[in-house]
Structure 1
Amino acid sequence: MFGESEKNVSKLKDFWVEFFADRRDGGHRFSDEEFISMEAREKLFHLGGGKTLLDFGCGAGELLVYYAPEYEQLVGVDFSASMLDEASKKIREKKCGNILLIQADDKTVWDKLEYSFDRITAAGVVQYLTLQEIDNFIFNASNYLNKGGKIVLFDILDPRLYPLWKIGLFSQDANFLSILRKIAFEFKVILSASLNSHPRDILGFSHNPSAIKKIADKYNFEITFVKSMYYEYKYHAIIFRTSEAQEF
């Protein structure tokens, strides 16, 4: 029988699955090609090479088609059929013949893979996973990671900065009254979510870097944290093994 916290997490999962079921965009800060191109270049820099890439939570494929010229073979994974439909359109438009799309979630994806990868990445996905699910993801990913490979988790919500962004402290026109209004609005959102059994935040969970590091340490990975260039309240986790480190 599920405990109360497990029941709540299950309800949140169901809400997000329904929320994303018919979505056709990846939720980037800006949807124009110039911004997506800049974001992709930043992420490619942190991916740092490799020949094969697994992009978990590829969404509508906005970043995936920019990754394609840099890799010999790519696999994009998402649980949303509508997102994958959009990704498929982009792949055809860009003539990216080296991309395979798979419909799966963080639990089912591993049984659908036919080979291992030099890079395994997820962008804007970790916030919808609990710490235990992140632990499972990193463990499973490690079994599909080639020697010298990296797991790169992009755009993790930072609990130290995200609340400040939500109340407008990073806004150029922030002032006392605007911050008070945003605080009041966030309070209403939290109250409404509690009454309607919805998540308090549609963007999901925020995770402290120290918690991600504990998981990486558990599986003998090194980890580097980098602040996102384009989302001031997010950070990236670059997970890898040194040549001396043994696999778990």
Structure 2
Amino acid sequence: MFDSIIQQAKQTEYDFTKTANPDDPLIHIFRDWVDYYKLKSAITYIIKPASILEIGVRFGYSAAAFLNGYSNAKYIGIDLDIDTFGGVKGAINWAKEITKQFNTEFIVADTQVMKRLPGDVYDLIHVDGQQDGDGSFHDLELAIKQSHYVLVDGYLWTRQNFMAVSEFLFQYSDLLDWYGVIPGYAGELLIKVSNDYLKQRETEYYGTVNSSLDIRQTYTNHYYTQDCGGFESYKKNQGKKLEDPRLQAVATISSLKQSGHVLDLGCGRGELSYYFANQGFSVTSVDYSPSAIELAKNCFNGEETLAENVQFICGNVCNVVLEGKYDLAVASDVIEHLAFEELEVLYQRVAQYLNTEGLFIVHTFPNLWYYKYNYPLKRKIAASVGAYLPVQPRSRYELLMHINEQSPRVLKKQLGKYFKHVYLWFGDPENPGGSIVEKFSIKDICAAPSLFAIASHKPIDDEHLKNHLQMHPLAPIRAGEIKLCVTQYPQLVKVNCEFEIQLEIENRSDFILNSCSYNPVYISYHWMNADATDYIIFDGERTKLLPHLNRNEKILFLPGSRKIQRKKYKVKVKTLPEKGNYTLRVTLVQEGVRWFDTVPTNLMKDISIKII
């Protein structure tokens, strides 16, 4: 198509100056524009759009060029008709005059305040490049929802516009069939929007969102497998491994409970449901999206026995029929999707069905203060060094689905209506301890992207919680206090690939082992020669201890007896680039402190592996 457009631009005799306004203040550069408008005429000649909408009309030179290329098009032009960004007040009247023989309509309006462009879906929308970067980004977000082709005028006009439009291409690349820049006066960027996306848009909700029920149809398989955080890991691991930091953070906090009945609210793709079931919990998984429930069930493919521990319910978390009491309830990235009134009902019901000793764990993104106070500061800093951050940091799904983003004050107050004890803190998924383990300034609070909360009917031991979410240097652990057993591994693997081993770790020590800052403990390994006398790769990949490996608990009424903590883990291993026989030494490591295969712990398990 691009070759055809360029060839047509060279052949056409169209000359915009024949209808140009002699009083145009930019008349001195008309000569530079002749080929520029030939290109616009050539674009419509090749595309043959039945309908065209243009944002930024000015004197109508582009309108005339488009209609010269394809005179059968219905043209609508929108212009603010003011003296800024290359505009001239009253110029739109000239545009009306030079296109009056065509099927045209002109609207004086500001697209920057529009949430939707007038009309339905167009064949071509032309976005004026003579505006600031934020303006271009906004108009492109409108255009992509209502056009098969989008033409960006002046893609290379200014650095700011270039960065803004490039950011748009980056964020929305999955919705585009293709795009390319056509050489010209200031670069014409032609975008082909995916037909599948435009069909999807036909079913999206455009009215006022009063509750999550209004947008229920948007929670599709496409959303869960193409946009919802962690989708890459789900597709890679079929939901059987927690790799998304948000889910890992919730799992880390949930390690406060070691067993019982868990309620997974808004279970989504089911990764947490699978994790809890695999840890021995009985699980009730609730989501009102049929697509989510189907994906969650798929996590248990091939593990029917494990699936027997899970009850899947496709229903609204606010009114689903529940039975019995729960030791743990989790709402991971759910509450921002529910209206205030819906949360009132949800919190009341969770409080009703939670055991006296039970915990309700909440994670929500974003911390509303992060976007309100911190993000504008980041934009200013970016602009000061010549970089660009869009005025709107949210993704298109977040804009549609986050109907009730939470501030810390509102979250704590609303939970406090139904739970006697609420503990709220700031952090991020990579550091869920956040303001519990560190002293946060006001600046730190506003810079924290996530909010975490625990609600309970009983007092929450904040010191225990603090210890649970951090890891300080351990004193040397005696040999035998931690035992490691590799239960499953391949004997033959290929070069430069990844494989998985399974192991059990038993903790007889007096220490909690976890993978939180400041000195996290991980499962790791060394690659050694076949005789295990020399290291080939010392630092292996790290695997988090999820769940925590808690210390022994004293058994009541049995003095001197302790409950041994034993957990199962799956560990990812990267192979070597050369074939041969090797020893894989599996152990633990505390970052910045020591490897556990050294004296006095001497914790290791050597397995023989052949790389082919």
Q: TM-score, normalised by structure 1?
A: 0.75
Give the match for residue 155 of structure 1.
364
Give the match for residue 229 of structure 2.
28
Matched, 1:73 2:282: yes
- Aligned counterpart in structure 1 of residue 293 of structure 2, from 52, 61, 84: 84
Give the match for residue 250 of structure 2.
43
Instruction: Give CA deviations for 1:109-139 in whole Å, capped at 9, x if unaligned.
Output: 1x2x222211111111101112222121111
Cα distance in structure 2, aligned partners of 1:12 and 1:52: 27
Give the match for residue 402 of structure 2.
203
Give the match for residue 3 of structure 1.
none
Change (3 A) 1:8 1:233: same
Shift of 1:72: 2.9
Shift of 1:164: 6.1
The two structures, once aligned, show a CA RMSD in angstroms of 3.4
- Aligned counterpart in structure 1 of residue 390 of structure 2, from 162, 182, 186: 182
Q: Which protein is bigger by CA-based radius of gyration?
A: 2
Change (3 A) 1:104 1:28: same
Matched, 1:104 2:318: no
Shift of 1:73: 0.5
User: 2:261–2:282: 8 Å Cα contact kept in structure 1?
Assistant: yes
Give the match for residue 237 of structure 1.
453
Letter in 1 for 2:232: S
Cα distance in structure 1, aligned partners of 2:413 and 2:365: 15
Instruction: Give CA deviations for 1:17-39 in whole Å, capped at 9, x if unaligned.
Output: 12113444381256325762654
Cα distance in structure 2, aligned partners of 1:211 and 1:219: 13
Matches within 5 A, 1:166-181: 169=378, 174-176=382-384, 177-179=386-388, 181=389
Cα distance in structure 2, aligned partners of 1:87 and 1:168: 39
- Aligned counterpart in structure 2 of residue 223 of structure 1, from 419, 422, 428: 422
- Structure 1 unaligned segments of length 5 or more: list them: 1-6
Change (3 A) 1:101 1:124: same
Residues paired across the two proteins, number:
223
Matches within 5 A, 1:109-128: 109=320, 111=321, 113-128=322-337
User: 2:284–2:312: 8 Å Cα contact kept in structure 1?
Assistant: yes
Change (3 A) 1:167 1:230: farther
- Aligned counterpart in structure 1 of residue 412 of structure 2, from 213, 223, 227: 213
Shift of 1:71: 3.6
Letter in 1 for 2:455: I
- Aligned counterpart in structure 2 of residue 9 of structure 1, from 198, 205, 209: 209
Shift of 1:9: 3.1
Change (3 A) 1:40 1:199: closer
Cα distance in structure 1, aligned partners of 2:303 and 2:296: 11
User: 2:211–2:339: 8 Å Cα contact kept in structure 1?
Assistant: no
User: 1:148–1:243: 8 Å Cα contact kept in structure 2?
Assistant: no
Give the match for residue 63 of structure 2.
none
User: 2:250–2:361: 8 Å Cα contact kept in structure 1?
Assistant: no
User: 1:37–1:66: 8 Å Cα contact kept in structure 2?
Assistant: no
Shift of 1:174: 4.3
Change (3 A) 1:89 1:199: closer
Q: TM-score, normalised by structure 2?
A: 0.33
Cα distance in structure 1, aligned partners of 2:342 and 2:212: 14
Cα distance in structure 2, aligned partners of 1:11 and 1:146: 28
User: 1:156–1:236: 8 Å Cα contact kept in structure 2?
Assistant: no
Q: Percent identity?
A: 18
Cα distance in structure 2, aligned partners of 1:175 and 1:44: 38
Give the match for residue 265 of structure 2.
56
User: 1:148–1:241: 8 Å Cα contact kept in structure 2?
Assistant: yes
User: 1:126–1:156: 8 Å Cα contact kept in structure 2?
Assistant: no
Choose between structure 1 and 2: higher helix proportion. 1
* Bigger relative contact order (CA 8 A; separation at least 6): 1
Query: Per the alignment, in what secondary structure is the counterpart of residue 54 of structure 1?
Result: strand
User: 1:55–1:121: 8 Å Cα contact kept in structure 2?
Assistant: yes
Question: Greater shift after overlay, 144-153 or 234-243?
Answer: 234-243
Change (3 A) 1:229 1:74: same
Query: Per the alignment, in what secondary structure is the counterpart of residue 402 of structure 2?
Result: coil
Matched, 1:131 2:330: no
User: 1:54–1:76: 8 Å Cα contact kept in structure 2?
Assistant: yes
User: 1:168–1:178: 8 Å Cα contact kept in structure 2?
Assistant: no
Give the match for residue 4 of structure 1.
none
- Structure 2 unaligned segments of length 5 or more: list them: 1-206, 432-447, 461-612
